[in-house]
Amino acid sequence: MAGSVRVTMTVNGAQQSAEVEPRLLLVHFLRETLGLTGTHVGCDTSNCGACTVHLNGEAIKSCTLLAAQADGAEIKTIEGMGQEGALHPLQEAFWEHHGLQCGYCTPGMIMASADLLERNPKPDEQEVREALAGNLCRCTGYHNIVKAVLAASEAS
C-alpha cells in the first residue's frame, strides 16, 4: 500500500502522532500502534461493538473509522476510564454486579454505557437495553450488565 499519512490525536489525554497507511482502521491504530489493547475486535461487519471508544465524547465503533479520519480528534478508551487508582463508577458497578465474564465485550460495553449516562443520566431499564443494542455479549445474558449500568446511574 503506497503512501502514508500523519495522524495526530489526543488519546486518553495524551497527544499521539504517527505515520500510518490511509486504510488503517482506528481500532488497529489504537491496539497495534499505541498498544492500547483493551479495545477489542469481535466481528468484521460493525455489529458487535467490542471496539467501542469515545470520539470527541461520543461512542463510536472504532473498527468502522479510519485512523486518518480521527486526525485531530479526542479519543477515550477503556484505559482512560477512571483516575489513577480509582475506578470509574461504571467499572466499579460492572465488578460489583458481575456484569462481565470472559471480559471481551466489557471495554466496549463500558464505553457505550458511559456515553448513555452522559446523554441520559437516569435511564430506565428499557432505555439501557436499547442503548446497548449495538454491543453484543455472549456470556452474561445482559441481565447483570443492565443492573450494573442502572447502579452506576444511581451512584452518580
Partner 1 sequence: MAFGSVRRKEDARLIRGQGRFVDDMDLPGMLHGAVLRSPYAHAEILSIDVSAALQHPKVHAVLTAAELGDMAWMPTLSADTQAVLAGDRVLFQGQEVAFVVADDRYSARDALELIEVEYEPLPVVMDARSALAPGATPVRDEGNHVFDWEAGDRAATDAAFARAEVVVEQDMVFPRSHPAPMETCGAIAAYDRVEGKLTLWCTTQAPHAHRTMYALITGLPEHRIRVVSPDVGGGFGNKVPVYPGYVCAMAASMQLGLPVKWVEDRSENLMSTGFARDYAMRGRIAAARDGRILALDVDVLADHGAFNATAQPTRYPAGFFSVFTGSYDVEAAHCRVTGAFTNKAPGGVAYACSFRIAEAVYLVERLVDCLARELGVDPVALRRQNLIRPEQFPYASKTGWVYDSGEYEAALDEALRLADYSALRAEQAFKRSRGELMGIGISFFTEAVGAGPRKHMDMLGLAMNDGAAIRMSPTGTAQVAISVQTQGQGHETTFAQIVAHELGLSVDDVDVIHGDTDNTPYGLGTYGSRSTPVSGAATAIAARKVRDRARLVAAAMLEVAPEDLVWREGRWSVAGDPSVGASIPEIAAAARGTIDLPAGVETGLDAEAVYDPPNLTFPFGAYVCVVDIDPGTAVVKVRRFIAVDDCGVRINPMIVEGQIHGGLTDGIGMALMETIAFDEDGNCLAGSLMDYLIPTAVEVPDWETGMTVTPSPHHPIGAKGIGESATVGSPPAIVNAICDALEVAHIDMPCTPSRVWEAMP
- In the complex, which residues of this chain contact partner 1 (CB under 8 A)? 1, 21, 23-24, 28, 31-32, 35-45, 47-48, 50, 77-79, 81-82, 87, 91, 94-96, 98, 100-107, 110, 125, 128-130, 132-146
Interior CA angle at 55 toward 54 and 58, to 5°?
A: 60
Task: Write the DSSP string, 73-139.
Answer: -EEE-GGGSSBTTB--HHHHHHHHTT--SS-SSHHHHHHHHHHHHHH-SS--HHHHHHHTTTS--SS
Q: How far is the CB of 57 from partner 1 (least distance, A)?
A: 19
Cβ nearer to partner 1, comparing 9 with 88: 88
Q: How far is the CB of 67 from partner 1 (least distance, A)?
A: 12
Separation in Å, CA 63 to CA 27, 126, 129: 5, 27, 22
Cβ nearer to partner 1, comparing 70 with 97: 97
Q: How far is the CB of 81 from partner 1 (least distance, A)?
A: 8
Q: How far is the CB of 51 from partner 1 (least distance, A)?
A: 11
Which amino acid, 129?
Answer: R
Cβ nearer to partner 1, comparing 58 with 125: 125
Cβ nearer to partner 1, comparing 71 with 92: 92
